Amino acid sequence: MGWNLEGMVVKGIYLDQIEVSGTVYHSRVCYGGGISHHVTIDEGFELYGGKISRQAGEGLIIDHKNIIEVRDHASS
């Protein structure tokens, strides 16, 4: 798996707590050499009793080390 996942459908762990899935719209090399992926999520979620919530279609950032599955967009 390469580092640039733009256009791919991924599953990953957000904030080390919740599994999310969505489409990567931007992959970047971070300061220090890490990789992060900006993902438009498929389903909304809440954490910490609603203190953190995201709706389907919102974007969030997942570190490359937390990506657990990658699929080509066409096969999703």
The single-letter DSSP state of residue 21 is E
Q: Are 38 and 61 in contact (CB under 8 A)?
A: yes
- pLDDT digits 0-9 by tens, 4-55: 999 999 999 999 999 999 999 999 999 999 999 999 999 999 998 889 899 9
Q: Are 20 and 11 in contact (CB under 8 A)?
A: yes
pLDDT band at 75 (very low <50, low <70, confident <90, very high): low
Cα gap 52→50, rounded to integer Å: 5
Residue 2 confidence (pLDDT) above 90: no
pLDDT at site 41: 98
Report CA dihedral (4, 5, 7, 10) to the nearest 10 degrees.
Answer: -170
pLDDT at site 72: 85
